[in-house]
Structure 1
Amino acid sequence: MTQEYSVEAILLTVRDCGTADRMVTLFSRQYGKIAAVAFGARRPKSSFAGCLQPFSHVDLLLVRNRGGECIRQCEIIRGHRKLREELPRMVYTALVAEIVTELWPEHQPDPEVFELLLDVLSALEERNPRVAAIAAAWQLLALAGFAPEYRRCVACGSGVSLPAHFNIGAGGVMCPACGGSQASFTEGQADLLTKFLTLDFRNPGRFTVNAAALADLEKLLGQCLVYHLEKELKTWNFIRRFERPGTG
């Protein structure tokens, strides 16, 4: 038995499969993450030509059967072409897409994540892509249930004076009495993290970012992602090489 249905979606990843097909991972407003095949999408005369591009905002007609979902029609709402043509924007957008792909299970609707992605894609096109991606990643971690605690000790609940030890496994800072001996999380990081977690991507305004605090938060973000996903993201490895050209 087949079921035909329409979705509004953001294409997270698009890869070749088979001899002429494409496998698409998308995040839809109505049903969350979905993996679907576009049969014949790589053929020269395919109706999907130029349509199924990563990071595009689209309307799709899907068909569900015993073998899974397949894409029957695709109409572009906003292509976000700039995110695929400029390497820094492409890399950091791919990071956001991979985080969503890894953190959210299939067919779990989450309209808040969908709306955030729409706004983040626009910010990645127009603003500093590194700052936008790191801020988005922290917000996604929070939406996935991994919001960090950095004003109170995660062990005893007492207020913590920064700098303090950040225990990734425990989910936040620890006071000296609870074993927080390595005071590496600073007030500058806390201020920037607050800014990132509360940033309205639809109306981000203009603000300055301390380079050292940004680098520290990016490093901490990578460590948190590895802990929660139990692996390192493919995009993260590329970003480290991209940010430090000439290193092995």
Structure 2
Amino acid sequence: MERFEDEALVLSTVDYGEADRLVTLLTRDHGKLTAFAAGARKSKRRFAGALEPYMRLRVQLVETRVSTVRLDSADIVGGYYAAREDLPLIARALYAVELCRELTREHEPQPELFALLEAYLHKLDAKEAGPTSLLAFELDALAQAGLMPRFDSCALCGGPPGERPRFDQAHGGTVCESCSGRARDAVNVPAELLSGLRAIQEGARTPLSADLRARARAVLNVFISHHLGRRLKSVDFMAQVGLD
């Protein structure tokens, strides 16, 4: 069995048996890993406060004969504690880690996604995440997963979106009026929403209006749910908190 160290962000945890815990980690060099933390729920010293969602850790892991690795130790590098004291920040952070967990496969290195999530959590903690920051994070994460929705042209014919564009999650983005008959699940979207999302894709951070942000959230929720096969649980939590 090989022992190794890595930097990790905690994506989620599940209690196992009477004393143990399964921890899903996004590591910098080894990608997403499911780690078995023996006695994590009974020991107050071994993993004290470390195995909580979106903690940044330095971990010691041991490969086993199964897909799960063994977590031997975890030292807190960053707790993002300011982002744990404000409900809207908690909701955004939990959504970000759940999205990354569902977009990734076990044991596939994702250093760019790790850096993206780390940077977003830092912005939340510093309270520097502006109104469009979550949309930007989502689009960047989707791009890393090879699921970037198309907003600049029709996903079916490649032509311009036109004056009355629609959005179809099954075909990967915008559908022009001429092709809308081939996209039965497509929904009408304002052209200014598509241009705003396209600008965010290209790196612009100009805030969208509250109405456009809400509509963008709805479009991306449908797109992500379609490609993952389920709706993320943290979406409902964000809605309860009142985030658009």
TM over 0.5: yes
Deviation sequence 1:172-193 (CA, Å, 0-9, x none): 2122222269772223212331
Task: In structure 2, give the amino acid aligned to 1:76.
Answer: I
Residues 55 and 83, structure 1, Cα contact 8 Å, conserved in 2: no
Per the normalisation by structure 1, the TM-score is 0.87
Amino acid at match of 2:12: T
CA shift in 2, pair 1:108/1:98, >3 Å: same
Match of 1:97 in 2: 97
Q: 1:110 maps to which residue?
A: 110
Could you say which residue in structure 2 is the equivalent of 1:167?
168
Residue deviations 1:27-78, cap 9 Å, x none? 0111110010111122244321122222111110001112431111111211
Partner residue, 1:71: 71
Change (3 A) 1:170 1:62: same
CA contact (8 A) 2:152 2:195 kept: no
Aligned equivalents of 1:243, 1:174: Cα separation in 2:
30
- Closer, same or farther in 2 for the Cα pair 1:83/1:199, shift >3 Å? farther
Question: 1:238 Cα shift?
Answer: 2.2
Unaligned runs of 5+ in 2: none
The match for 1:192 among 171, 193, 196 is 196
Deviation of 1:130 after TM superposition, in Å, equals 6.4
- 5+ residue gaps, structure 1, are none
Q: Structure 1 residues 183, 240: CA separation in 2 closer, same or farther (over 3 Å shift)? A: closer
Instruction: Write the letter of the residue equivalent to 2:173.
Output: G
The alignment yields a C-alpha RMSD, in angstroms, of 2.2
Partner amino acid for 1:187? A
Q: Counterpart amino acid of 2:160?
A: G
Cα separation, 2, equivalents of 1:4 and 1:120: 30
- Contact 2:164 / 2:177 at 8 angstroms: preserved in 1? no
CA distance in 1, matches of 2:187, 2:237: 29
Structure 2 counterpart of 1:215: 214
Q: Read off the aligned partner of 1:84 and give its amino acid letter.
A: R
1:113-192 matches, within 5 Å, as: 113-125=113-125, 126-128=127-129, 131-179=132-180, 184-192=188-196
Cα 1:129–1:83 shift into 2, 3 Å: farther
SS in 1 for 2:151: coil
Give the Cα separation in 2 of the matches to 1:243 and 1:45.
35
Shift of 1:10: 0.9
> What's the offset of the Cα at 1:96?
1.1
1:57 and 1:222, CA in 2 relative to 1: closer, same or farther beyond 3 A?
A: same
- Structure 1 CA distance for aligned equivalents of residues 116 and 75 of structure 2: 21
| Contact 1:163/1:183 (8 A) holds in 2 | no
Q: Determine if contact 2:40/2:46 at 8 Å carries over to the other structure.
A: yes
Classify the secondary structure of the residue corresponding to 1:173. strand
Q: How many residues align?
A: 238
The normalised TM-score by structure 2 is 0.88
Q: Does 1:19 align with 2:23?
A: no
Q: Matched residue of 1:216: which SS?
A: helix
- Matched-pair contact (CA < 8 Å) for 2:132–2:207: no
Identity of aligned residues (%): 30
Q: Does 1:241 align with 2:240?
A: yes
Report if the CA contact (8 A) 1:162-1:185 is conserved. Answer: no
CA displacement at 1:134 relative to structure 2: 2.9
Distance 1:44-1:4 versus aligned 2 partners, 3 A rule:
closer
Question: 1:86 aligns to what?
Answer: 86
Counterpart residue type for residue 99 of structure 1: L
**Aligned-partner residue type, residue 193 of structure 1:** L
Q: What is the alpha-carbon distance in structure 2 between the residues aligned to residue 15 and residue 183 of structure 1? A: 37
